[in-house]
Amino acid sequence: MKPRRVGRRRRFPGRLDLPGESDEGSLDRLRRVMAKSVSSPLAAVESERRTSGARQSGRPRVGMRLSVTAVVVAGLFAVLLVRLWSIQVIHVHSAVSQELITTTRTIQTTSPRGEIIARGGMGQVLATDVPQWVVTLDRSEANNPALQQRLAVLLGVSTKHITSQFADPQLGPFAPVPIAPVAGSTVPASTILELLGHPKEYPGVTPALAYQRSYPQGSLAAQILGYIGPLQQSELKYYLNHGYQVTDSVGQSGLESYYELPLRGKPGTETLEVDPNGNIVKQLATTQPVQGDTVQLNLDLPLEQMLSSALANHVQALRSGSVPGGAQPAPWAAAVVLDVHTGAVLAIASYPGYNANLWVGGISSSAYAGLVNEAGHPLDNYAVANPQPPGSTFKLATATAALNDNLITPSYTYDDRGSYVLPGGQVLHDAGGESLGVVNVTSALAASSDIFFYNLGARFWNAWASDAKHYPYGQTPIQDTAAAYGLGQEPGVDLPSSEVNPGQVDSPLLRKILHAAAPAVYPNTYYLGDNVELAFGQGYTEVTPLQLADAYATFANGGTRYAPELAAALVGPNGNVVERIRPKVMSHVHFASQTDYQAILQGFEGAVTSSIGTATGAFQGYNFSSWIVGGKTGTASTTSNNSVPDAWFAAFGGPKSTGPEYAVAVEVGEAGYGASAAAPVAAQVLAYLKAHGLPPLRLPGAAPAPGTPAK
């Protein structure tokens, strides 16, 4: 029985109940086929009997299973057809609506950056945003080479430049892509008129006004103003937390960096309707950007121009040998002018400089290489960032400490025989090899007696070493006084801390720190000879012109050290003063008596007026009848391979009726003696201030702040 059943199953002609076949039932079809295969009615009956028996035996037939499967498949097809009919006929309008659903996107629009202006007000602009035409291309035209070719010819750019702009990862996915101008160029007005007049020929192209930073004064105070540039990776977290976009530019140095947040302003917004393919459908809403605050400086523009010019001219004279002492390398120089009563920075210059507009739109690699390789390194801000040994200008701190600590009195004298012998036999001389004879602290300052101050350095050390337990002033009285004057300390100026070097004052602690950092370079020792060097501003002591000007301003006002402040106020775009930047007291220098103070003051006055004064030559012809002027020369050996010392001069001056008003510090690198290489610049500055005074600070919407009129 079993073989016969199998054989008959194999003879079935394919599937019996596929869709589309006859409506004949499965059993009827089976009977018809079997009837054809048997030879007699008896055989047919027997076949039917056997089939019935097989069904009754409980064994399912293959045909039955195929029938069930066919029914299920047919049902699924029916459901699918009904659903398609429902979507295409009943719900057709709903489906179309879903296809056309759009979303909204909001993008930021750049705000005009606030200006940086001098103390004279809005007519003395140092940094500003200038509107310029920018041509953008919609992203929907990214694959339109014919259009891009026409634009390349019209705008004077390459098609490669245009396509590369679309690939810029810093541009948002919905913002139009700027394709012109390229760095260092502008889009001519004729080109803008062509685009505006023929919009159908340039689909997706939009001329728009944008802003570009400009520095109208060129190289004037370039290192102080700084520049702006794209966000760096290290800055992203900070600025993104303040609402910036990765595509924004920010201040990268100088005042542009320090006052970045108020200068930025408030960006505008554009709300766009975008279809499912990412195409912009229309603009829904716009919020106009708000310009940033203006930073108004204490800096006086005419004084800054005068100082920069005087410094550059004097350096050229030194190089040419047209001043006493012969030709000098003089690769760099710096100078600072402060208000002694507030710490306001009235002028600050670093030479050589550079045109700040080189950074606008991104500095080229060739221009940057030129700045890096130029003699004197113009990118260095020598006024605040390159400390050097101050030489004899440091004697201010030593003299103050010696009088305050009762190591000497104003009447104390010492015989300057031109040399000083250290324990061990080392002989030190005056810088010029002179022998000044018997001097006190006043004449020693005027004539710059190194021997007198060698002696003070040794006496301080011996007083501590002989009875450290009972010596009331400790091991570092000179260093402590120098710190009160701000030497070796953070000056507190409103510039990025990474750009301001605090310098250092030699001490036993400093030696330990230096030795730990570089044992092979710095010994972990500090002896009497080191304290002697400290007393006249040598050894490892290093200061900047800004610090030295602040120290002499502190002395000139009677002992209050103010933080040097470049900015005077923040002014809103509506003309109202947002913040007035007030003087900040950093420390105090206390003088034991007025007699002690006068002894030092007379020494500084003698340096520019007396026959023994080291800077008398620089002030020849100066009218001292109505003005008080004091100063100190400095000649400092440096650690460079060049044997020519750095030249320093620090000074203060003002009407006799009111006392000193201004402090000046000048340094010229590798230029020789301070008397001939630095003092002449300070003399020009004080003569200018005597003749012109200081104009009042003109804050918008407020009465002018008092200035110093000419005397």
pLDDT tens for 510-536 read 999 999 999 999 999 999 999 999 999
Task: Transcribe 114-127 into DSSP letters.
Answer: PPEE-TT-TTSEEE
Identify whether 704 is part of a domain. Answer: no
- 47-56, 126-135, 345-354 — which one is most confidently predicted on average? 345-354
In a shared domain, residues 342 and 284? no
The separation between the first and the last C-alpha atoms of the chain, rounded to the nearest angstrom, is 138
Report the amino acid identity of residue 396. Answer: L
Q: In Å, how far are 127, 315, 495, 522 from 333, measured between CA atoms?
A: 24, 7, 20, 28
Please tell me whether residues 668 and 631 are part of one structural domain. yes
Which are the contacts of 10, defined by CB distance < 8 A and separation ≥ 6?
none
Q: Kindly state whether residues 250 and 220 are assigned to the same domain.
A: yes
Per-residue pLDDT at 650: 98
- Contacts for 92 with CB less than 8 Å, ≥ 6 apart: none
Picking from 469-473, 557-561, 692-696, which range would have the lowest pLDDT averaged per residue? 469-473
436 shares its domain with 468: yes
Sheet holding 646-655, edge to edge: 345-351, 333-339, 662-668, 646-655, 627-636
- SS3 for 323-377 is CCCCCCCCCCEEEEEEECCCCEEEEEEEECCCCHHHHCCCCCHHHHHHHHHCCCC
CATH value at residue 228: 3.90.1310.10
- Of the three residues 242, 275, 297, the one that is the final residue of a domain is 297
DSSP 420-434: EEPTTS-EEE-TT--
pLDDT interval class at 44 (50, 70, 90): very low
311 and 252 within one domain: no
| pLDDT tens digit sequence for 236-292 | 899 989 988 877 889 999 999 999 999 998 887 777 676 766 566 777 788 888 899
How many domains, the chain?
3
**How sure is the predictor about 22, in pLDDT bands with cuts at 50, 70 and 90?**
very low
Q: Are 626 and 380 in contact (CB under 8 A)?
A: no
**Cβ 513 vs Cβ 585: under 8 Å:** no
Q: Which residues make Cβ contacts (< 8 Å) with residue 192, sequence separation at least 6?
A: 133, 135, 207
Average pLDDT over residues 157-177: 76
Q: Which domain holds residue 483?
A: 301-692
Inside any domain, residue 479? yes
Tens-place pLDDT, residues 633-688: 999 987 655 679 999 999 999 999 999 999 999 999 999 999 999 999 999 999 99
Residues 280 and 328 in one domain: no
Domain ends where: 63, 94, 125? 94
How would residue 3 be classed by pLDDT, with cut points 50, 70 and 90?
very low
Q: Which residues of 378-388 are buried (b: 16+ CB within 10 A; e: fewer)?
A: bbebbbbbbbb
Which three-class secondary structure string do you get for 10-36? HCCCCCCCCCCCCCCCHHHHHHHHHHH
Residues 6+ apart with CB under 8 A from 188: none
- List the beta bridge partners of residue 14: none
State the burial class of residue 531 (Cβ atoms within 10 Å of its Cβ: 0-12, 13-18, 19+).
Answer: buried
Which residues have a Cβ under 8 Å from the Cβ of 670 and sit 6 or more positions away? 328, 329, 330, 331, 638, 640, 642, 644, 645, 646
What DSSP string describes 275-340? -TTS-EEEEEEEE--BPPPEEEES--HHHHHHHHHHHHHHHHHHHHT-STT-------EEEEEEET
CA angle 78, 83, 86 (to 5 degrees): 125
Task: Judge whether 56 lies within some domain.
Answer: yes
CATH code: domain of residue 674: 3.40.710.10
- The rounded distance, in Å, linking the Cα atoms of 154 and 198 is 13
Distance CA 223, CA 378 (A): 8
- Which amino acid is located at 276 in the chain? P
Comparing 174-178, 274-278, 452-456, which segment has the lowest mean pLDDT? 274-278
Tokens of 297: 């400086």
Residue 547 · residue 500 · CB < 8 Å: no
| Chosen domain end from 73, 94, 115 | 94
**Torsion angles phi and psi, residue 381, rounded to 5:** -100, 90
Give yes or no: residues 287 and 425 share one domain.
no
> What confidence score (pLDDT) does residue 250 get?
94
Q: Are residues 87 and 196 located together in one domain of the fold?
A: no
pLDDT at 482 over 60: yes
What does the pLDDT average to over 407-434?
Answer: 92
Q: What interhelical angle do 62-85 and 26-37 show, nearest 10?
A: 140
Q: What is the predicted pLDDT for the residue at 468?
A: 84
pTM, entire model: 0.81
Q: In 3-state terms, what secondary structure has residue 462?
A: helix
Give the Cα separation of 105 and 676 in Å (integer).
Answer: 67
To the nearest whole percent, how much of the chain has pLDDT over 70? 83
554 and 516 part of one domain? yes
* Residue 697 placed within a domain: no
State the number of CA atoms in the 13 A half-sphere of 226 facing the CB. 20
Domain membership flag for residue 548: yes
- pLDDT higher than threshold 50 for residue 37: no
708, part of any domain = no
Residue 92 above 90 pLDDT?
Answer: no
> Which residues are within 8 A (CB) of 484 and not within 5 positions of it... i.e. 6 or more apart?
554, 561, 587, 588, 589
**Which residue, among 43, 84, 224, 194, has the nearest Cα to 133 in the 3D structure?**
194
Tell which wins on pLDDT, 376 or 246: 376
